[in-house]
Structure 1
Amino acid sequence: MMEHIHQLLYAIICLHIKSDTGELSPSMLSPIGIFTETLHKVNTFMEAQQHGSRIRKFFRQGEMNILLKECNMGLQQALNIFGIQSMSLLTDINKIKQYAKEKHEEVLELIASLSDANSSDQASSMNRVFSSSYNSSTSFSMLPSEPKIFHGRESELVEIIQLFTQESPRIAILGAGGMGKTTIARAVVHHHQITRKYAQQRYFVMCDSVSTAVGLAALLVSCLELKAGKNLTEQVVHHFVSSPPSLLILDNLETLWEPLSSRGDIEEFLSCLTDIQHLALIITMRGSERPAKVRWTRPFLLPLQPLTQDAARKTFIDITDDLHNTEDIDKILLLTDNMPLAIDLMAHLVDSEGCYRILARWEEERTSLVSDGYNKQSNLDLSISLSLSSPRLISIPNTVDLLSILSILPDGISDNELLQCDLHIKNILTCKASLLRTSLAYNTEQKRLKVLLPIREYMQKFHPAPFSFVHPILTNFHNLLEL
């Protein structure tokens, strides 16, 4: 639904841009009116889901389903009309997207060209690039909100807080995409002990928008509300050296650390930061590896695993309310393998459409059912695809092939079975190690290499295993059955 709204907004913008008079033609006013009415219905639907008692929601479920159907029909009607009226709209939308992409690349080139030897004028221009994202008056106002639903990660939270009894810990929160690394970091930064210890010297920086160490330094300069100088890295380090004890959280650091071209610079920058004795550092990263050149505080936090069934059920009920019976809830959770992101997305769908409808849709749509969003927090397919694009993965040939094979093995496979299948994959154990490092696969207690169900479904849809790999697997299992 949100994707359709997004497309229609793009279409209206295109029409306005193309108009010579700055006004829309009369023939397009009616479709826009229909679209506006549909938006009102969508708003009514969303408000109805957010307010009202559980009993009232239960009795109005049929009414809400009708309203949801009308919303979808209205959006589809508007899409059809715009498609008929202007065959070039899609091209125009793509041009806008391409223009935005080109501008983004220009910013990245500016970051890449900026070195510590550049003039302060260049550094100032870089600072202005990020100032629009960080225009609050204090660092406290830039902190993300505290998680309102937080089940199954209490032990990890306690473990992290315990590490703060040591002087300025350096902690890496690791795990697969969608496991809740950012959620834990948000819980930490708002924990009463952390608030009391660091007060307004808490900084939460999302690293998705930058790709180099200099870019990260520029982002921090803006976040810290410093006036950019000639040497951004030294400026950041000097600020923390002269500041009271501080906590810096770098979220999604893998976006900078993954590429080999920037890894060395990032690790050197982290090393400089961790030389500051009174600066505590937390990073969140996909995978199970920690950056080098940092003395990470022990004991290490283990990579996050799926939630327990009890925690998954509590999370689901907190989102959907307790109108659904336990059997239906468990059927839904079975599709998520208790991955927090998948639970969150599925629960919100169930809240609006009900368990029965979502279970029926899953049979047709699979992971596409929870992949309408525009970022990795609201789009499961996008989150998985980001993990698949990891340089740690693509640098080793056939690793994706191995993941495709695992996607058809719900019980996983042991090392012996993997070698016995004779898959003709060179360095197959190296491929296995790559999947473990990126947390796309994990070892069970029985030492079997296994993949979570949402990832298996994604791979079967977008990267199905070739028959040349499936056949040896089937042959090996057939031979085992004959023994």
Structure 2
Amino acid sequence: MNRHNRQTSILQSGAITQSLELLQSLGDLTKIPGLKGIAGIIGVLVENSNATDRNREEWTSLINDVGALAVAVTGAVQDCGGHLENDILDHIANLCNKLEHVKDSLLALTDRNLALRGADQSRDAIILRRLDRDIQQCTDIFTMQCSTSIVKEVRRSEKGYSEILEGIKEVREMLLNDIKSESSKVNKSLCLQRMHDQPLLPLPRNLIGRREELERVVNTILEAQNAARIALLGTGGIGKTALASQVILDERIAERFGNRRYFIACDAANNKDDLLNLVSSKFNIKGDQLQKQVIKKLNQDKTILVLDNFESPWETIASRSEVENFLTLLTSEAENLTLLITMRGSQRPAAGKVAWTHPFIQLQPLDMESAKQLLKSVVDYPDNDPNVEGLLEAVECLPLAVELLGAQMETDSPKILLQRWQVEQSSMLTRFGTHHQSLDTSIQMSINSSRMTSAALDLLKVLSLLPDGVELKQLSDVFSSLKEPKKALATLLHISLAYYDRNKRIRVLSPIRSHMVFYHFPEYKNIVPILTYYMGLVQLTASLGGPQGIGIVKRIIPEIGNLHAVVNLVLGPKLTQYVEDNLLHGAIRAAIDLSRFFRYTELGNTETLKLALSIVSEKMSDEILKADILYNMAWSIRNSEREGLCRKAMTIYEETNNLSGQAECNWLLSKIYKGNKRNHDKASQHMKIALSIARRSGNKHCEAKCLASLSELTYHEGDVEVALQQSQDALQLFRPLEDYTNIGITLLFIGKIENNRSRYSQSLQYLNEAKNFLKKAGAYTHELTVWIELGDVWQHRGNFLEAQKAYEQVWAVVQERGLEKSYHAAYAWLSLAEAAAGLQDETTSRKWLDKAMEMFEAKRIVHGRLFCEIVYGDLAIDRGAEGYDEAAIWYRKAVKDSRLTQAVNDEALANLKYGILRTAQSEIELGLRHLMTALVLYRKSDNTAGVGKGLFRLGGLLEKMGERTGAVSVLEAAWVVCRGTEAVVELSECGRERERLTGNAWK
């Protein structure tokens, strides 16, 4: 960035003011000589620049360079973590002396201008430009000197790199040995819930003193003629989020909107795209055209949406227009949407475009009595303490400040707190000029508590790097460079800077973490043990899917946020001066490992992998590493970019003659194409190429994957025996590799085939074996599929109670693993709906079916939607002739959707159902056509029970046509087909119908 642009940026961003504030704070905290002096000198310069309107261009340039100098000094101190070497202290002292001369010259110039109105303006401009040049030179010299000093410090620490890498290996081995020793003690109550998904609704908040505002908002929503659009405005910490939370939880709002109440925290959004991703993620919407899908979702029924902290995406000038346009689109096209935003400040976004509902609501601080009640709810204090009211007045009865001060009163008396506030708050307000930093002030007061120790501060610094916190037993391992971490923890707990969450992990609240990372970044020597521990932990993912899989999953799930944070820290800018290529390379490999865990458990994200790709592209020349990232990104994401990313990886693997990489890319391309029936030939072609290359490269694991995947393609082509043989060949390769996950998946597929062939006993055998392998591997998402298939087997055998038990197990696992927002939940609901339908419980069936259909529609899962349509049709038919028209609509949709899948049996079932219905409606020709289609498809997939069902229904159709003899013959054929299987339901139906037609029972 050139100097002019840098000056403009500094002036517009308010960096001068921020740097002065930070220099003052750093001077207070670090006791470094000269820092407060420099801040004071620069403050005088800025103040005097505002005292004259002459030579504004020169003054502006001068002050911008002063700002650059403040930023440079601040950056140097922060880079050293507040612990400066003597040579840097000397640089600061020299800089302070030079600035004193600049200040004296400027004060003289200002005094002369005030005394002599006719002073020579051009001469003054020359003086200002000369002084500006001196400040520029000061900045450049100081920056160069400090950089040299820091480089020396870095070189002194380089010898520790090899020790870090060795430590990482040791940690990995220690953890893996731990898991192996504990693998027999599987914790049955393991909670696999997502740690980072926001809940659908917020937790109840303390709403003392806001009853009037709550009634206003709720009544405004309920009484509005059209959907209300409300903005809750006010300063930071005023209670906007608490009020919005209580509104959406209010029983009257719950009655109006039911389960279509959504609360979205916008803190992480910096622009319109971030905001759209947050909203679509909350609605479980993925894929292309997110905006249209969101609008469609919101238009389905009356909905209330809370966008909390909306200022986060809105405040950035560059993206404000797009954010406002998105907000306008929501309110104009989603007519059923009641929108409630909370936003810092007094300005409503998109004013004039969004019709904000009156009356406007601007939250004010609490009255004194309410503030006392709120304080009392946090800490018990003597009612007659005269300092309490003074303290509450000092913080202006701001709810957040009241709550935080209440936490302080656990250790410090109101008198001491009031004294500290008088000093710290007044100075902070003088420097900041706004209440925006009220939270930072409260946090800093906590840090400056009389109970705070240097050891506790060091622990808080490193704890703030870990969003998931740590367990108590981990303290000495993760923070091995700290002395007496348990004693330090007790201090943090006492002054409420850390807390135990519901999983008994020690955590730091997000605002405090942000404050600490910005103002109190830890020393590198205290970061090293964290890097060692978590870089070792992430290497466990290399053993995912094996015998120790469940132990690895248990160990990593509570740490997934920490792992991403640590890898991002290594890849990010804060440690650039310390990170060597080998550690950087390890972090990139860790990002790849985390993407594998994301695919395995659906926990975590792919953002770390994207960051790794940018680092490799910009700073490294390792093409294989880049290809590995591209391949794993293509495997991990679920959008239209997958094929392009995979082909980019393929090109690199081909150019480097990496056969294993080529085999893997062809395998993944086949999986991508397999999702579209029209691309079946492409999928088959790529899988065969992948198998051939895998064999040439000697990659047994990839060869086994290819055989297992080829088995599925072969089965859908109708060659059942070859498909079974390919699966068995894959198993022979997977078993020596101890790949429990793929062993289980392959056994599951064989079990499905046997179920479709009405060989239920064999199917149960394979499925139970699959369940055991997948459970040991920790592959719980695939384990869910096994439970669904087990329920299907019992349902096919006519045992709906056993089927229901299996399906209830699916839902139990979904809840236990925290997957209620995933498509797994939708399949669990569908299964429960099928079981209830089999038990003639239409009400329960529809309840689950509606939930499943909504999610399948939102996620555009055709297979799930198809089965919902079939069950809806079944429920309509159960009502008799009056439900036939409705059933026809659902079955017709099912037939249409079945053509989009590659599942032959699904297409056969849809045609069978539709053919049966049309026969019942005496539409003989149409019924016959669909029944014959079903028979052909069932025969193609070797589905004996399906063929028997088709023949049985064909017999009924012939009877309607008056072909009684033909009907008996067809029923006899159905009997012969079913007799060699366990299709007892079909056998029973054939027997009853033949006896009815002939008067003779089966022999």
Comparing both structures, which one devotes a greater share of its residues to helix?
2
Larger radius of gyration: 2
Query: Given the two structures, how large is their TM-score scaled by the length of structure 1?
Result: 0.48
Query: Given the two structures, how large is their TM-score scaled by the length of structure 2?
Result: 0.24
